[in-house]
Amino acid sequence: MNIVLFDLDNTLIKGDSDHEWGNFLVENNYVDQRIYKEKNNNFFEQYKNGTLCPKEFALFSYEPLTKYSYEKLLDIREKFFEEKIIPLVLPKALKLVNYHKNNNDILAIVTATNSFISRVTADFFNIKHLLASEPEFVNNKFTGNMLGEPCFKDGKVTKVQEWMKVNKLSEFKEIYFYTDSHNDIKLMEFCTRPIAVDPDEILKKTSIDNKWEIISLR
């Protein structure tokens, strides 16, 4: 048995679902267009540069979730997924996921994108296990706070270790991890089969230096 971990954004899909969610909220007037768009773009640049504070971003990105009922948010999320995410799904990613399923591997998505946004994509890929940043949800409403630590950089390693312990996944052949981002280097170092997928420049260089496999799903 293998454990197979997938980053979500720019790995299984050719885009960033957190950033696209922000764009969708702006385009449909769910948030202040000018202010939110600028901040959303600034946070995205920080993520790409490796300077993002995940807790600061969480407070920003979770705030719109507090403005609407859960039922309304589900409706917004469904439209977002159909309009923004479905066109970004990579056919080769679907084939890769199915390959590991057919191999009877245990699959999980490990993403910094919050679980409310990323759950629909995990369901689309039919991947049951989702390790993500968790927005606090109390009395059928989002509070705007984060529950626990962000699933980002070292936090991804912690999430995976906790998940493996809870699910008693101590016996395995390999731990695969597919990702595009240098923000995931810590988790790649933790896994036995780190695989860079259409990597950014920093991850590409690190992968070459460490003789990690590099593939393309584009």
Residues recognised as catalytic: 7, 9
Burial of 169 (0-12, 13-18, 19+ CB in 10 A): middle
Strand order in the sheet with 175-179: 141-147, 129-138, 106-114, 3-6, 175-179, 193-197, 213-215
End-to-end CA, the chain: 27
Return left, alpha or beta for 132; rule: phi > 0 is left, psi -120 to 50 is alpha, else beta: beta
How far apart (Å, rounded) are the C-alpha atoms in residues 19 and 41?
7
Reduced to 3 states (helix: H, G, I; strand: E, B; else coil), residue 7 is coil
- DSSP state letter for 9: B
**Residue 121 token pair:** 């994509």
Quickly list DSSP for 120-163.
HHHHHTT--EEEEEEEEEETTEEEEEEESS-SSTHHHHHHHHHH
